[in-house]
Structure 1
Amino acid sequence: MANNPGAKKAIRKIEARTEVNRNRRSRVRTFLRKFEEAVTGGDQAAAKTAFNDAQSEVMRAVSKGVIHKNTGSRKVSRLAARLKKMAAA
């Protein structure tokens, strides 16, 4: 258990950071879900817009350190592949 002022402050900072990161991760998942819905709906224009929004949000999470750079790149790459596959069909 935290026993000195520095350790107690670190616990407070970690809790605050955890809350911010939880919100950012939730935001990313929301945009990914919106892209999924647009793709399954078959609306190509909506899927393109949702892709741009999702890509932006994923890369923002990467820049904030919520997710790793390679993870973000992988997610965006897979989204782009699904959008391309949808356009080809």
Structure 2
Amino acid sequence: TTTDPVAKELYQKKVAVNKRRTREPYYTAEQGIKLVKNGGFAFHVDVATAYKFIEETFDDDEICDLVEIQLFPPKHTATGTAKHSPFKKMVTYG
């Protein structure tokens, strides 16, 4: 849940079910990318999922024209461990 007023307003105007919108406007990654190709449509999707469909749907020039917009800024996290903890190697290297 976000406290960002812009994100909340965007949700209320474009996503939330209301009198005019009787269903939630969710699309699969493939459907959303096809709508973007048709023009006039923005689609929020995980980039790892989208790249496969972008490669299949767009030609090289069209891919160069696409713009990725971060909806949520990345969060930096950290984990602390004891100096000689057996978990240190796992946390450090994965």
What is the TM-score normalised by the length of structure 2? Answer: 0.23
Larger Rg: 2
Q: Which has the higher contact order (CA 8 A, sep 6+)?
A: 1
What is the TM-score normalised by the length of structure 1? Answer: 0.24
